Amino acid sequence: MTEHINLFIYGDVQGVFFRRTIKHEASRRGIKGFIQNKPDGSVYLELEGAKDETASFVEWIEAGADGHTVKRIDREAGAFKAFDAFEIKE
């Protein structure tokens, strides 16, 4: 079963290659969507993939995503958009 998740990620997540790390891992796992810095210092992420893979991916992010400091993640379900790939948005 495929799902769409919107994540609002807070912590030390800007200016530390966080978006690039997330993109690499998402692509490795076959997850599609995008990641974008927000003006308040947080990062916004939309992802789509198999439910078990997205759950594992979110757990990986919560654990610190390769050493990055994640303080909080707000999560909400979203409408499926059928993304073609995973990208970094400016």
Known catalytic residues?
A: 19, 37
Integer Cα distance of 89 and 59 in angstroms:
22
Residue 47, Cβ density class (10 Å: 0-12 exposed, 13-18 middle, ≥19 buried):
buried
Q: Rounded to 5 degrees, what angle do the CA atoms 13, 30, 87 make?
A: 45
